[in-house]
Amino acid sequence: MSNIVDARGRSCPEPVVMTGQAVAAYNGETIEVLVDSMVAVENIKRFAGSKGFEVEVKENDEEYSLLIKK
């Protein structure tokens, strides 16, 4: 998986902006977004859903991995 967006340690709206750039360049491969805030998780899920993407969230301690695909 080469489409990884590491937005850990960044505050909103930056993780959403970074995800938006990855979505704009979507090439059919799953996009993995790494964040460390539940607020970022919810905002990214809402954004990606509005663009027609499915989002799967995996939690690991206090970090989250969002897998975004069509």
Active site residues: 12
Number of residues that make up the chain: 70
| Distance from the Cα of residue 3 to its chain's centroid | 10
Q: Which long-range contacts (CB under 8 A, 24 or more apart) does 54-58 make?
A: none
